[in-house]
Structure 1
């Protein structure tokens, strides 16, 4: 089976924006602000009341870590005489969408002390004098933070036998897709493998992956193509045929739609530099 984590991390676009500590008065509030990018808040001191559309209000206090996805419409206010918040802003995308692996709950329930240490380290790196290393340290800190959050969520899912992470029926359907990357399994075939109706399988996929089975199958094929483009000298036409596409040009258009690059552009950017460069054709 092709894992979700591998599919996401291969094509994820992740960019650190900035981090800052805000020392705020008891009168501080935000009313209906829609966020343009992702935000992670660490409540270093004090307490707030936070409201977002679709979720119950949250009372967050010292050491709480809050995750706010882009597009969140936010209303919040201070609940204590003094308030200190560390605010990290970043952008992330997978094929033009927010990555499934970064769909965190608003309040993080894992080891917050470890996250706080990384955030404080990022603050120190941000405050350091400009240098060639500084952008790399900040990006690395962001990656470590998100990795810890993702690992904490995975551990929590594994501790819940009734869920076992991604739904087993979806896993069966994905295994069927991954077992025959050259085929285009029909919805009925996938539903049969999962033991549910086609309509219910579609609902399960949307809930677990944010995509329909057909969209997931396409992303899977594109991700497999990315691996071969970056790590082999296989011709684009050969890769297209192996994934079930008789027309390499059609495959190239689909690849560009999903990745934002043509197969040739992706190979030039991501190929293994140890491989000898050769003229690429279709």
Structure 2
């Protein structure tokens, strides 16, 4: 684990004002499950991406859920501490010249994504480049960091509570699994069930159960319009072993029986 490095080894920082060009002071990785250090803070923004672990992080008076795929932007000089009983793994970046214009106005800017997706690969490449320091590493690091910040800005601009994003990801990952219970997925998202349900409803206009039903029916519609599958086959593919139950849900959500579907849904 890397928690410190001589400043002479880091890329030269930009000016610490609104026109500064962000530069990487440090990127480290906790590769084995750890409960982390005691409460602490930093003089620059810290961006943390959790690749495993479930719990919460206290940032000043804010409490944010932690789950695989959670990214948090921790403001300078605000003490924080992780509370993950089983430990966690992550990447952490200390970035000079970062400011609110890059990450938005939320007290603790955050979002959630796939823990092993594009963002994880980008951070792994950045970490490797920073550690190996091959010829041209500073230019490569600056370029990768610039791409990373564009990605963060776009994702953070989408807004939304990270626990809602986490639940959406969990629901999407289990569209074809009829045995999974929505309540089980809600419990894994990191917030009390009733509170999460209210947040989800406020953000999407739908309950989690309605949301996953609509996503399943959208997927079913895409399969049906190909003309390659029978209704019973599509029902099974989207998590409904009982084709009659599937037909009732499909008609309620889409407005017509699945047997009549041959044209795309209107956009």
Using the size of structure 2 for normalisation, the TM-score is: 0.46
Greater share of helix: 1
Using the size of structure 1 for normalisation, the TM-score is: 0.44
